Structure 1
Amino acid sequence: MPRWRVTLRAPVALAAAGLLLSGCANPSVGSADDDPTKPVTLKFWHGWSAPGEVKAINDSIARFEKLHPNIKVKATGNVTDATINQALRAGGDEAPDVVTSFTTNNVGQYCDSGMWADLDPFMRKSGLDKAKVFPKTLLDYTSYDGNQCALPLLADAYGMYYNKDAFKEAGIRRPPRTMSEFEADAKKLTKRAGNSYKRVGFMPNFRLYQNSPDRLFAQWGPTYFDAKGDSRLAKDPATYKFFDTAHKLVEAQGGYNALERFRTSFGDEMSTQNAFMNGKLAMHLDGEWRGLMMNEAKVGFDWGVAPLPVPDDQAETYGRGYLTGTVAGIAHSSRHQNAAWELVRFLTADTDQVVSFANAIHNVPSTFAALKSPKLDADPTFRTFLDIAQNKYSQVMPPSTNGGMYVTSLQDFSYSVEAGKVHDLKKGLRELDRQIDADTLQSKS
């Protein structure tokens, strides 16, 4: 199973533990004076743990070692961000040389703390033009304040899975493209069963599986921070339109309480009891990995994939979506940074490697060349996510020195809004902005 098992609330736990360091950290200093042609063993820490994932990363390492016979790679899997940052903080011989993270929200802290080395000097030495290799959107979530401390190592794109049989039954010709169509179709696809449901058109509740509010909010193209780095959610008209649309989706299908009761009856997200996979949802927000699971489970209905709908007044942006992904970097404490760069460059920028790895774990490749490669999985549902990843309107979360704490704050606020506990939205958003700004200031102290 791919990397979506990382919990949404991980960033706040890491920050609370003091493991993601602020800009005042004093990381152990490594060396970029090593000769990458000399024999060396690199320690590579990553988060993959499922058998198929581990095989894919080990196959990648084997390909690298064949090209660089002088470099041996000692891989350690199933490693969390907390463990990596503890090791980098401590430094020493046991610390890793090359690291990966599934949490793009924390890139701001990786870069600002100095715990991950700036990769721009390595790219200049090797002649790698990052703007020609990687889509700008992916470069945005692997850098902070001019420091390119990470590079993208495959991406995740979010779209909408839909039950074609349910659509046909309801007389709906195609997936909705605008939010007004979304609301109408969701209502038409919903089937009640007494005080509960047989099926919900689209479950808008933010606690469902991948329904973190920032993912649907991306369809409005919001601006989270102003030029000074201050939170501006209360000032962005998109915020109010987003919450209004979410409320309309809830009301069109029976109200929050009824939907929430139905949601709590759903099976585990990563099992065949997933609510979309067993027919309880007609439309579902999810990532590209779900298609592989659908095929393996041989679900009992015809299904398809489309981009999520967009606001009616932004119809030209249809095809956009929310993007995130795995990032790779070099530990600042590594004394083998030039050799480590060879591994990072191979994993992130070698076209055949990126394509092979993407096909193996069914994730979106993260370079222009790999996205256009004829060797890439030709599954048309997967291709939808490739298009979303390349759409100029697709959005990533902006990096912050407090990692993903502002995302967690938005989540908690959104839970209160959908439950009807926020009676003055504008006032609540102003308080949310103040909270986010205070957290950011504290992380810098």
Structure 2
Amino acid sequence: MKKKTWFGLWCLLLSIMVAGCSGGSGSTAEPGKTSGEEPDQPAAADAVELSFWYGWTGPEAEALEKLIAKWNEAHPEIQVKGLSQSDYQKQLTAITGGNPPDVASQFGQNVVPWGLRGAMMPLDDYIAKDGVDLDDFVPAALSTSQHEGATYAIPTAMHVSMLFYNKDILKEAGYDGPPETLGELKEYIQALSIVEDGGRLSRLGLWPGMDAYTFSYAYGGSFYDEAAKQVTPDHEGIQSAIKLSKEIWDQYGSDNLDRFSSGLGQYMSAQNPFFSGKYAMTVDGEWLPTFIKQFAPDLNYGIAPIPYDENHPERKNPGNVTTSVFYIPKGAKHPDASWAFIKWMTEPEQMAEFTAAIGNLPTRTSAFASPLYENVPGFKEFLDYSASENLKSFPATSFTNEYMTEFSAQVDAILRGTVSIEEGLANVKEKIQPLVK
């Protein structure tokens, strides 16, 4: 897969997150048939029927359908019909058109923008009535669904990144283990990269357009000052993260990096650059060990925390959290029944069953100890990491998507030298600050 800049890497990460959350082969039901048309048991004569639109497809949809069937068997009074619908824009169209599903899934970054537009029902009354323990949720995951005291969705799965490293390549270079600090990371990248005559790259220690969100948090960065109502893309920590990427990028040059990236293999294949040894290290999510098992079972690799700022050891185990959520659309015909289903789906037992099946992380800490995760590749490291107090999520605001899009575009321009770091981040602030309400 061709990856030229950090923005390209971020898009790749997002696309793989979608793959990890959504699969890739369409609905598991027969054409024209939804999952609930043939329940295992007859529905009660006066049963409430819920329509449930979700974004997962393929094997992930199959795992979800098993839980839907389990619910339907145990709750004849509320029957759920699932429909794999990965076009999330259709959800918004249905909601604004007054014909929404009763329950739906969504990505966490869309929750607050949609909630503030009135597309999602606040769930706080239901949460209080049923005594749902919000303290059981990973704070960074829950924050993607909340804004100014209102909770618009319940996160059911989350995603974080860690550092993957090729043990054999590191050993050949004289390293016994992965880099622990950001200073060491820079040293490792230089030592593990191979530059041929004329600047041609044959291996990179780590792609220099690194995840700017994750590494901004590693440097203590913050994207928004809630008290001052100010966007802060020029925060010192964010600038430090971009400077690190820029220094490494400039060491090799855009032309050489473009030439190198043009020859890289597809992500979901044995030619994945990390699997094939083109990358000595990579930053990726909890789904990667499953892909390694499938495409590169003999790869000798390790999983390590994201390196931290050596000047601030209190920032160890940093990370950026994204989520998948369940919510009740505005105008849902049976909101009480919809909530009952969401509450059940996000209880620890069902959450563990679903996330273990699709290779995603649970958002409830009480689910971490489930034995269902024991056979999921790489999950011990990721579950341990999920308990870190230094995991953050991008600020949940009405302008989250616009902010992330502009920030990514400007980081791209900074790395390629079109604008300076100061100019690029000033451009972000100039464009996004007027959106703050």
TM-score w.r.t. length of structure 2: 0.86
CA distance in 1, matches of 2:98, 2:272: 42
1:414 aligns with 2:411: yes
**Cα 1:5–1:379, aligned 2, differ >3 Å: closer, same or farther?**
closer
Does the residue aligned with 2:205 lie in a helix, a strand or coil? strand
CA distance in 1, matches of 2:180, 2:384: 15
Any residues of structure 2 matched to 1:2-13 within 5 Å, and which?
4-5=15-16
CA distance in 2, matches of 1:98, 1:247: 44
**1:261 Cα offset (Å):** 2.1
**1:258 Cα offset (Å):** 1.4
**1:296 Cα offset (Å):** 1.3
CA distance in 2, matches of 1:57, 1:129: 23
Which residue matches 1:219? Answer: 218
Which residue matches 2:166? Answer: 163
1:55 aligns with one of 56, 62, 65: 62
**Cα 1:428–1:320, aligned 2, differ >3 Å: closer, same or farther?**
closer
CA distance in 2, matches of 1:299, 1:259: 28
Which residue matches 1:91? Answer: 98
**1:277 Cα offset (Å):** 1.6
CA distance in 2, matches of 1:410, 1:65: 44
Any residues of structure 2 matched to 1:387-426 within 5 Å, and which?
387-423=384-420, 425-426=421-422
**1:212 Cα offset (Å):** 4.6
1:138 aligns with one of 129, 137, 141: 141
**Which of the pair has the greater relative contact order for Cα pairs under 8 Å at 6+ separation?**
1
1:364 aligns with 2:361: yes
Which residue matches 1:231? Answer: 231
**1:270 Cα offset (Å):** 2.6
1:354 aligns with one of 340, 351, 356: 351
Task: Give a deviation string over 1:108-160, Cα, whole Å, max 9, x none.
Answer: 212211211111111122221222x3122211111122210011111111111
1:88–1:333 Cα contact (<8 Å) kept: yes
Uncovered stretches (5+) of structure 1, i.e. residues with no partner: 9-35, 206-210
CA distance in 1, matches of 2:14, 2:246: 30
Does the residue aligned with 1:281 lie in a helix, a strand or coil? coil
2:50–2:103 Cα contact (<8 Å) kept: yes
1:277–1:299 Cα contact (<8 Å) kept: no
Any residues of structure 2 matched to 1:245-394 within 5 Å, and which?
245-252=244-251, 254-348=252-346, 350-377=347-374, 381-394=378-391
Letter of the aligned partner of 2:224 in structure 1?
F
1:70 aligns with 2:77: yes
Alignment size in residue pairs:
399
Which residue matches 1:29? Answer: none
**1:218 Cα offset (Å):** 2.7
CA distance in 1, matches of 2:14, 2:354: 13
2:414–2:424 Cα contact (<8 Å) kept: no
Counting aligned pairs with the same residue, the percent is 27
CA distance in 2, matches of 1:177, 1:379: 25
Q: RMSD over aligned Cα, in angstroms?
A: 2.2
Does the residue aligned with 1:404 lie in a helix, a strand or coil? helix
1:104 aligns with 2:101: no
1:183 aligns with one of 177, 183, 186: 186
**1:243 Cα offset (Å):** 1.7
CA distance in 1, matches of 2:250, 2:191: 13
Task: Give a deviation string over 1:389-413, Cα, whole Å, max 9, x none.
Answer: 2200111111120231101111000
CA distance in 2, matches of 1:191, 1:392: 36
121-130 or 36-45, which deviates more: 36-45
**Cα 1:193–1:7, aligned 2, differ >3 Å: closer, same or farther?**
farther
Which residue matches 2:195? Answer: 192
4+ residue runs over 6 A deviation: none
CA distance in 1, matches of 2:212, 2:255: 18
2:289–2:377 Cα contact (<8 Å) kept: no
CA distance in 1, matches of 2:384, 2:228: 33
**1:247 Cα offset (Å):** 1.9
**1:293 Cα offset (Å):** 0.6
2:108–2:155 Cα contact (<8 Å) kept: no
1:430 aligns with one of 426, 430, 435: 426
Task: Give a deviation string over 1:173-214, Cα, whole Å, max 9, x none.
Answer: 111111110011111111234442221100112xxxxx5532
Does the residue aligned with 2:393 lie in a helix, a strand or coil? coil
1:319–1:387 Cα contact (<8 Å) kept: no
Letter of the aligned partner of 1:436 in structure 2?
I
1:115 aligns with 2:115: no
CA distance in 1, matches of 2:211, 2:306: 14
**1:322 Cα offset (Å):** 1.4
Letter of the aligned partner of 2:233 in structure 1?
L
